[in-house]
Amino acid sequence: MLVAVLATAELQVLVTLVPVLGAPLALVQVPALGWAMALGAAVLSVIVCDAERALRASRTPAPAAR
């Protein structure tokens, strides 16, 4: 399975970096604003997930001491 994952990653890199291979997929370069939006969405998703986890933890009652 590791070989399949590595082969897939290698193909993705080749299609992305070699223009001849990306042409049939009509790949274009992402502008700086697009990268900023992707980075913002990634950071925001981490913040939202951590906030939700903290909220759930605060609602869960602590186990009773013995």
* Whether the Cβ atoms of residue 58 and residue 52 lie closer than 8 Å to each other: no
pLDDT of residue 7: 96
pTM of the model: 0.56
Instruction: Name the residue ranges covered by the structural domains of the chain.
Output: 2-59
CB 9 within 8 A of CB 3: no
User: How confident is the model at residue 44, as a pLDDT?
Assistant: 98
Chain centroid to CA 19: 24
Contact between 16 and 22 under an 8 Å Cβ cutoff? The reply is yes
Residue 5, pLDDT score: 96
Question: 32 is written with which tokens?
Answer: 């700086």
pLDDT in tens, 8-54: 999 999 998 888 988 898 888 889 999 999 999 999 999 999 999 99
30 contacts: CB under 8 Å, gap ≥ 6 = 38
